[in-house]
Structure 1
Amino acid sequence: MRNINDLPNDLLVKILSSVPTKVAVSTCLLSKRWGSVWKLIPKLDYDDSLSAAPPGLYKYETLVFLGVKKVAIDNVPSTTCFRSLKSLSLLDVWFSSDETVTRLLSCCPILETLVVHRLGRDKVKTFAICVPSLKSLTIRHIVGGYHEPRNDNGFVINAPSLKYLNIVDHLSRLYSLVNMPEQMKADIHIRHCDSEKLLGCLTSSKNLSLCLKPLEGAYPHSDFDQLVSLDLGVMCSFNWLNLILRRSPKLRALRLYQAREVYWSCRKSNSVRTKWRQPIFVPECLLLRLRTVDWFEYKGTEEEKSVVMYLLKNGNSLETMSIKFSESITLE
């Protein structure tokens, strides 16, 4: 049988790609032949319970996929360049400063997919994501139980090529989105936000999924001229529905739901719920465009009944309305 050391690098890389990252890295100790083979692996998943990043991590110019979990990043060398990296996952990664985040992302010139699950205890105040090539961005900033949002903590996003944005955040207040492109799909669940600034950056989106609690008096004034499909979490306020309907003349599909993953935060916060008020004027989309309404986790409250009756009465173009009752509802 041929000695494994005599195999070409491409076969050895295939072998190492099929084993856990720690095992693949440890092969560098076998012999000089194996010393740098593991660096050719196009995909790495590193999980080491908040230890430092593995030795030589910043020298992977051929790495295409990188997943890092529970690792502490104190410093990023100035010579770092993930020249081939297209997908990066930062799961519960501890960063020492804002600058560390900025430097790491600046080392990824062709990055297309970024997933960030933030720890509640890192030292980053403003998590700046400025990646011109980025197409998909997913952010999670959640801790167990109820916590008041942190006024000094947030994200700055500058991604002119973005096609998909997904944010679930219970801790941050400050958001800045700049250079948001047209035709972007956004799925955003945030407890507190500057809704004027946030939604003002999403006015060209055709598909939106929103669960927001606006700051007092901070309802946006922008029009959603391109919006055709809306998923709206109604845990906090039905008045978002009035706002979006009034400002979305092309809306054709509406989905209302109770956002389970943000239920705890909404239920425990003070003065969350505001009563729905019927619009004075019937929105254009109800008269001319809206075709379908789907309501999930419907509880049959008087407020919900009022919304349903309003949509049925004024939806001149409405073709179907589907209501899925909550399991906890008791019909009379």
Structure 2
Amino acid sequence: MANKAATCQEIKEKVCEDRISVLPDALLVQILLLLPIKEAVATSILSKPWRCIWTLMPKLVCKDTKHTNSKSVWWFFEQSLQLHKSPILEHLEVKLGSRCPADVDVGKLILKAVERNIRLLDFNLKWSAKPISLPKTLYTCKTLKKLILSNKILIELPFEVFLPSLIKLELFNVAYKDEGSLIRLLSSCPVLKTLIVVREKNDNVIKFSVKVPSLNSLVYINNNDDDGVCGCGCSSSSSSGSLIIDSPQLKYLRVNDFSEDGCSIESMSPNLTMARVDVGSPPNENFLTYLSSVKFLHMTWIDETEVFCSCVNYSQLIECMLRPCRAEYWVESVMLLLDNSPNLKVLMIDTKGIGESDDLRRWSYVPECLSSQLEILEWKKYGGTRDEKQLLEYILASSKCLKRAGISMRYSKDCNDKMKKKLRKELKSMPRASVSSELLFPAKFKWRSSVAQHCLFDLF
């Protein structure tokens, strides 16, 4: 009986044994990284060995929500950073909402991060106060590889800066003291590969100049409402502006700008392979010339569509996504582009919101890409208007190498099941030059270059 009692005691002790605490500190840190910071810090009360584990975490994330007290969140995070002991802070993410008190010392937090050899800094400030300047030390950090600044941040750089390791820079709705501050920031990044810019209102920059020799990827989204007042409260001298690109190594370009601002390219590599251009009016002639090297093109337009489609020889283009926003002349524009794209293999058309024009069209020629190259056609939001039907019939009847045509329908509100069935039957009966081609419902193909885009952006 004594032996049996001893055995039961041993089993009980094994069941109660704390096996997690005996794990190596490095593994415990990885476990804590899966928890919110408050819960990770709370583990310090578990036992003496746990007291300092959280201070070795290489990643700290602080986010306040509408359900939290911003002041207490800030105090908690500031105290946590003071106790932090990791020699290298890989990742610091701070997102403070509109209720954040205006007297918090943001600069102090940045300085502590720089002292700990910060690699990735994501700072999002949405308080109700004016935009603030960040400490000079941030702009001379030798270890910083990725920097994300959002909202109430003022880029004010009257001094020379140097960020020798910065690979990726993201600027979301920030304000600039002047154009010189923007130029100094970008020129301080000798190895910058990816730049993402979102402009929400007039930010005190008229000529947005991107002169970065090492740049591979550029995303520029301009939501400027041209109200004449910059994000830092200054009055701009003009409501018009422009984007100027001087980056000879650029491979991926996205421009989303439906304002009246212009866009020009001063120097760009002919190796530009991917471009997404969503604009209200066409950029200058030099910009269009450099689009001639792209292999993947995503285009949304409103006005002067024939400029995009007739003035550029897309000799390298193999995949194209077209999204016209107005009914007038959109079919002619598509035909012009097809005629200038002899190697096009994948064509995607999205006609959401397109109405019907007054002109009937007849084409007496067949673009080279239709007779010898086009393999996949995808049509989204096909509504069966006369224009859409004419173009679809023409492409199907002319594409000798077509393997698949996918169509996603856009039905009117009064379209019943019987009408839907009739419309599909009409599509299936359209003559096809390629007898082996399939007609599929709905369209499933995605813009293939978006995968490559993510690969370019995933640099850190």
TM-score greater than 0.5 by the shorter chain: yes
Identity of aligned residues (%): 26
Deviations 1:233-271 (A, max 9, x none): 132323321121000111111000146xxx7xx99xxxx
Q: What residue identity is the alignment partner of 2:322? A: L
Alignment partner, residue 124 of structure 1: 205
| Preserved contact between residue 188 and residue 209 of structure 1 (Cα < 8 Å) | yes
Alignment partner, residue 394 of structure 2: 310
Q: TM-score, normalised by structure 2?
A: 0.60
Q: TM-score, normalised by structure 1?
A: 0.82
Q: What residue identity is the alignment partner of 2:197? A: V
Alignment partner, residue 349 of structure 2: 256
Q: What residue identity is the alignment partner of 2:61? A: V
Which of 99, 111, 120 is the matching residue for 1:43?
A: 120
The whole-number CA distance in structure 2 between the counterparts of 1:225 and 1:206 is 9
Q: 1:278: how far off?
A: 4.3
Q: What residue identity is the alignment partner of 2:383? A: K
| Preserved contact between residue 150 and residue 173 of structure 2 (Cα < 8 Å) | yes
Which of 214, 221, 230 is the matching residue for 2:320?
A: 230
Alignment partner, residue 289 of structure 2: 200
The whole-number CA distance in structure 1 between the counterparts of 2:342 and 2:316 is 8
- SS of the aligned residue for 1:19 comes to strand
| Preserved contact between residue 66 and residue 87 of structure 1 (Cα < 8 Å) | yes
1:173 aligns with 2:258: no
Q: 1:62 to 1:24 in 2, by over 3 A?
A: farther
Deviations 1:185-238 (A, max 9, x none): 111111112364432211011111111234487454231111111111132323
Alignment partner, residue 24 of structure 2: none
Q: What residue identity is the alignment partner of 1:102? A: I
Q: What residue identity is the alignment partner of 2:404? A: T
- SS of the aligned residue for 1:109 comes to coil
Alignment partner, residue 242 of structure 2: 154
Q: 1:273: how far off?
A: 7.2
Q: What residue identity is the alignment partner of 2:397? A: K
The whole-number CA distance in structure 2 between the counterparts of 1:322 and 1:75 is 51
Which of 217, 221, 231 is the matching residue for 2:311?
A: 221
1:246 aligns with 2:339: yes
- SS of the aligned residue for 2:196 comes to strand
1:321 aligns with 2:405: yes
| Preserved contact between residue 158 and residue 180 of structure 1 (Cα < 8 Å) | no
Alignment partner, residue 91 of structure 1: 172
Q: 1:3: how far off?
A: 11
The whole-number CA distance in structure 1 between the counterparts of 2:399 and 2:269 is 32
Alignment partner, residue 298 of structure 2: 209
- Deviation larger for 236-245 or 300-309: 236-245
Q: 1:275 to 1:159 in 2, by over 3 A?
A: farther
Q: 1:54 to 1:74 in 2, by over 3 A?
A: closer
Q: 1:173: how far off?
A: 3.4
Deviations 1:153-187 (A, max 9, x none): 22111222222112211114311123143152111
- Deviation larger for 52-61 or 222-231: 52-61
Larger fraction in strand: 1
Alignment partner, residue 188 of structure 1: 277
Q: What residue identity is the alignment partner of 2:312? A: S
Q: Which has the higher contact order (CA 8 A, sep 6+)?
A: 1
- SS of the aligned residue for 1:255 comes to strand
Q: 1:294: how far off?
A: 0.3
The whole-number CA distance in structure 2 between the counterparts of 1:106 and 1:63 is 15
Q: 1:107: how far off?
A: 1.1
- SS of the aligned residue for 1:127 comes to strand
Aligned residue-pair number: 313
1:79 aligns with 2:160: yes
The whole-number CA distance in structure 1 between the counterparts of 2:350 and 2:76 is 45
Alignment partner, residue 133 of structure 1: 214
Alignment partner, residue 9 of structure 2: none
- SS of the aligned residue for 2:315 comes to coil
- Deviation larger for 57-66 or 272-281: 272-281
Q: 1:277: how far off?
A: 4.4
Q: 1:98 to 1:275 in 2, by over 3 A?
A: farther
- SS of the aligned residue for 1:282 comes to coil
The whole-number CA distance in structure 2 between the counterparts of 1:313 and 1:131 is 47
The whole-number CA distance in structure 2 between the counterparts of 1:239 and 1:217 is 8
| Preserved contact between residue 224 and residue 248 of structure 1 (Cα < 8 Å) | yes
Q: Please tell me the root mean square deviation across aligned C-alpha atoms, in Å.
A: 3.3
Larger radius of gyration: 2
Q: 1:327: how far off?
A: 4.7
Q: What residue identity is the alignment partner of 1:99? A: G
Larger fraction in helix: 2
Which of 101, 106, 124 is the matching residue for 2:187?
A: 106
Q: What residue identity is the alignment partner of 2:289? A: G
Q: 1:25 to 1:240 in 2, by over 3 A?
A: farther
Q: What residue identity is the alignment partner of 2:124? A: D
Q: What residue identity is the alignment partner of 1:133? A: S
Alignment partner, residue 54 of structure 1: 134
Deviations 1:249-306 (A, max 9, x none): 11111000146xxx7xx99xxxx97968444421111111111110001111111001
